[in-house]
Amino acid sequence: MGADLAVAPRRQRADIRKGRRAGPARPRKFRDDRKAAWLFLAPALAGFALFYAYPTVRGVYYSLTDHSLLGAANFTGVDNYRQLIGDEQFWNALKVTGYYVALNIVSQTVLALGLATLMHRLTRSVALRAMLLVPWLVPNVSVGLLWMWMLDANLGFVNHILNALGVGSTGFLTSPTWAMPTVAGINTWAYTGYTALLLYAGMLQIPQHLYESATLDGAGEWRMFTRITLPLMRPVLALVLVVSLIGSFQIFDTIAVTTKGGPVSSTRVIYFYIYEQAFTNFHMGYASAIAVVLALLLGVLTAVQMRVLRASRSYLA
Amino acid sequence: MTRKRTRIRLSPGRVAAWAVLVVVLVATVFPFYWMIRTALTPAADIYADSTGLVPHHPTMINFLRVLGLTSQEEARAAGGSGAQVDFLRYLLNSVVYSGLIAVLQTLFCAMAGYAFARLRFPGRDAVFGVLIAALMVPPIFTVLPNFVLVKDLGWLNTFAGMVAPSVLMTPFAVFFLRQFFLSIPREVEEAAVLDGVGAWGVFWRVVMPMSRGPLITIGLTTTVWAWKDYLWPLLTGREEETRVLTVALGVFQQQSPNTMPDWTGLMAGSALSVLPVLVLLIVFGRRLVESLNFTGIK
């Protein structure tokens, strides 16, 4: 996203300047509207300063204190960060988050890509796309509750099916081994349709005649997928991939409803750990330090994203 | 595979592809059916009658009790924990919460986006750059200090505190609307300026009506996100008066006994959180689906 910003306005301004030299005199009013501009910007700038810029500075400061939410904060320097290095729960949270992200991203992207390709080659039905969007529209809290019920060890629908198949029932969310894959599966169910529609939107930009001439040349569907769809989709795929990557680092709602970090910390992801430290244990300072680390981590990921996007830019544009 | 353009033949591959698509659709929609089917089942039947596709004794009692329309005794008899729940109120709170955020945020971000796209003032690109940089800060990072701020202002459990961080702006909406305003031909606005209309008049009477599509798109996306919000309303709106649906579902779940959760009540409550979203989808279906074409990719 960021890469586009730097280019578009500059180019636009150049056009305007050229136009101005050639065309008739433009009305003065548009030249300098400082006063109007600041009035237009006032609410957004106030919102930015109060709820984005100031809290960012505040958050970094908190990370250097023993703020408890209740009492006054004492400056403790890098103590929180030092504690972080020896905190097993923190490392576990990082590990568990990484595990979740890997599971979720792979299943969601592969499924979504397949789904988008099927839609692209078969149908343009809006009704079908609308149906695929439903799980994304529903709050994660409801999705979590719904799947807790579907997966309930005794009465859940899924276990009825497994029993009927002779597999035997599983307490999906209560098993330390299965809890995280189950949460990843639930969120894959909730977000695959959305991701597929993003990819589908990208596929619509691929010129149709490429497929037509490939068909005339006798290419099969699989060949068209690997030789046309996949290469031309690379930039869109990269963008969608990284956006959902950063999104899945922030998993919270589903965990908060279904497993609450358990069983035995197997789903205590970093977001949930920060939440617990800040609002259950009242270690606001420590929680802020973890949040700083997470922000840096996501910053690195975003930088990588920019690289990837720039490298794979514009087969289509 | 040889296929004529006009009449598509039913090749085995095509049939298989359609079959896969249908399976995916069923997997997508069926859990919602099961949610509603459970909500319509009497709590007592849930052991005996948990496999059939249709409830044997369908009932509305679960909806009535989560809507607070039954007496405590009736609710307890129907499988509730006897705790006071009133999903009608939470539904309304959710509508107020997401409505306020969607309308005000869209308006203020449109104003900002217009200023960045069209008005000329020193430092424009620098200010825009700083604003967009906020996209990179993970939400949890600002949630902590914002909570302290709202708490210090005495705004906990008020709608003001709940919507404050999001009504004024969100970097993405500013960015998105600015992109659109850049694409409007300048001539249109200049004609209005020649007629002596000021910047505000141009924005309000010319640009805004021309931008209905993108405004609805960003408004809808914002509504959906606000509707799904959980963490922030959980922190700032715990009390009955400001409790939104997602938070209420969490509370309801905790009140539900661990040994035998009140599944019929929980599913009735969850179904109520899906209902407005379905209405949105029915009214704005095409728009919502097509909105992904802009918001996601460009």
The string of pLDDT tens digits covering residues A148-164 is 999 988 888 898 888 88
- Give the number of other CB atoms < 10 A from CB of residue A178: 17
| Phi, psi (rounded to 5 degrees) for A256 | -60, -30
How far apart are alpha carbons A157 and B30 in whole angstroms? 11
Is A59 close to B144, i.e. CB distance below 8 A?
yes
Q: Which residues of B touch A55 (CB under 8 A)?
A: 141-142, 144-146, 149
- Cα B14 versus chain centre, distance: 36
* Among candidates B18, B25, B112 on the partner chain, residue whose Cβ is nearest the Cβ of A44: B112
- DSSP track, B87-134: HHHHHHHHHHHHHHHHHHHHHHHHHHHHHHHH---TTHHHHHHHHHHG
- Alpha carbon of residue A253 to chain centroid: 14
ipTM of the complex: 0.91
What is the rounded CA–CA span in Å between residue A211 and residue A229? Answer: 9
Inter-chain touch A48–B20, beta carbons under 8 Å:
no
Chain B closest CA to A291's CA: distance in Å?
A: 5
Provide, as residue numbers in chain B, all residues whose Cβ is less than 8 Å from the Cβ of A239: 297
Residues in B 204-263 with any Cβ partner in A closer than 8 A: 224, 227-231, 235, 245-246, 249-250, 253, 261, 263
**B229 class by beta-carbon count within 10 Å (0-12 exposed, 13-18 middle, 19+ buried):** buried
Per-residue pLDDT, A23 = 44
Q: Is the CB of residue B38 less than 8 Å from the CB of residue B263?
A: yes
Closest CA relative to residue B127, chosen from B139, B115, B142: B115
Tens digits of pLDDT across chain A (317 residues): 333 333 344 444 444 444 444 444 555 444 567 888 999 999 999 999 999 999 999 999 999 999 998 888 899 999 999 999 999 999 999 999 999 999 999 999 999 999 999 999 898 888 999 999 999 999 999 999 999 999 988 888 898 888 888 887 788 999 999 999 999 999 999 999 999 999 999 999 899 999 999 999 988 889 999 999 999 998 888 888 888 888 899 999 999 999 999 899 999 999 999 999 999 999 999 999 999 999 999 888 878 877 777 765 545 54
CA distance A290 to A84: 8
Report the gap between the CA of B70 and the closest CA in chain A (Å): 23
Helix, strand, or coil (residue B219): helix
The stretch B175-181 carries a mean pLDDT of 93
As a whole number of angstroms, the distance between CA A147 and CA A257 comes to 10
Chain A contact for B127 (CB, 8 A cutoff): yes
* A12 Cβ contact list (under 8 Å, min separation 6): B182
Residues of A in contact with B167 (CB under 8 A): 47
Inspect the interface and report whether the beta carbons of A32 and B121 lie closer than 8 Å.
yes
Residue A5: predicted pLDDT: 36
CA B218 to chain centre: 11
Q: How far is CA B9 from CA A118, B2, B97, in A?
A: 17, 9, 51
C-beta separation of A130 from B289 below 8 A: yes
Q: Which amino acid is at A204?
A: L
Identify residue B163 by its one-letter amino acid code: V
Q: Which of A35, A140, A146 to mutate to test the interface with B (most CBs of B within 10 A)?
A: A146
Q: Name the nearest CA neighbour of A257 among B231, B291, B294, B202.
A: B231
Q: A2 to each of A42, A215, A302, A316, B122, how far by Cα in Å?
A: 23, 38, 10, 19, 21
Question: Token pair for residue A111?
Answer: 């499924």
Tell me the pLDDT band of B222, cut-offs 50, 70 and 90: very high
What is the reported pLDDT for A2?
Answer: 35
User: Pick from B50, B119, B132: which is nearest to A33 by CB?
Assistant: B119
* Residue range B264-275: mean pLDDT, rounded: 93
User: Would you tell me the crossing angle of helices B139-152 and A270-279 to the nearest 10 degrees?
Assistant: 20
The nearest CA of chain B is from the CA of A47 a distance in Å of 5
Among B residues 77-96, those touching chain A with beta carbons less than 8 Å apart = none
Tokens of B213: 């599509």
Instruction: Name the β-bridge partners of A65.
Output: A75
What span, in angstroms and rounded, lies between the C-alpha atoms of B68 and B66? 5
Distances (CA, A) of B45 to B42, B55, B211: 5, 9, 53
Residues B157, B154: Cα–Cα separation, whole Å? 9
DSSP string, A140-196: HHHHHHHHHHHT-TTT-HHHHHHHHTTS----GGGSTTTHHHHHHHHHHHHHHHHHH
How confident is the model at residue B50, as a pLDDT?
Answer: 66
User: What is the residue-wise DSSP string for B140-207?
Assistant: HHHHHHHHHHHHHTT-TTSHHHHHHHHHS--HHHHHHHHHHHHTS-HHHHHHHHHTT--HHHIIIIII
CB nearest to B250's CB, from A43, A141, A291: A141
Q: CB under 8 Å to B144, separation ≥6 — which residues?
A: A55, A59, A62, A274, A278, A284, A287, A288, A291
- Cα–Cα distance between A135 and B33 in angstroms, integer? 12
**Residues A129, B289: C-beta atoms closer than 8 Å:** yes
**pLDDT tens digit string along B33-66?**
999 999 998 888 887 766 778 888 888 989 988 8
Q: Which residues in chain A touch residue B229, judged by CB atoms under 8 angstroms apart?
A: 139
**Helix pair B171-182, B212-228: axis angle to 10 deg:** 170
For chain A, give the percent of residues with pLDDT over 90: 61
Contact present, A316 and A206 (Cβ < 8 Å): yes
CA dist B193 and B95 (Å) reads 39
List own/partner pairs for A120-127 with CB under 8 A and 24 or more apart.
Answer: A120/A200, A120/A203, A120/A204, A120/A229, A121/A221, A121/B17, A122/B14, A122/B17, A122/B18, A122/B21, A123/B21, A126/B285, A126/B286, A126/B289, A127/B285
B positions 171-190 inside 8 Å of A (CB)? 171, 174-175, 179, 182, 186, 190
Give the amino acid at A174: T
| pLDDT of the residue at A16 | 47
Could you give the angle at the alpha carbon of B270 between the alpha carbons of B264 and B272, nearest 5°? 105
Contact B137 A295 (CB under 8 A): yes
Residue B144 has its nearest CB partner, among A45, A147, A278, at: A278
Instruction: Check A275 against B140: CB less than 8 A apart.
Output: yes
B31 touches chain A (CB under 8 A): yes
Structure tokens at A225: 């997928």
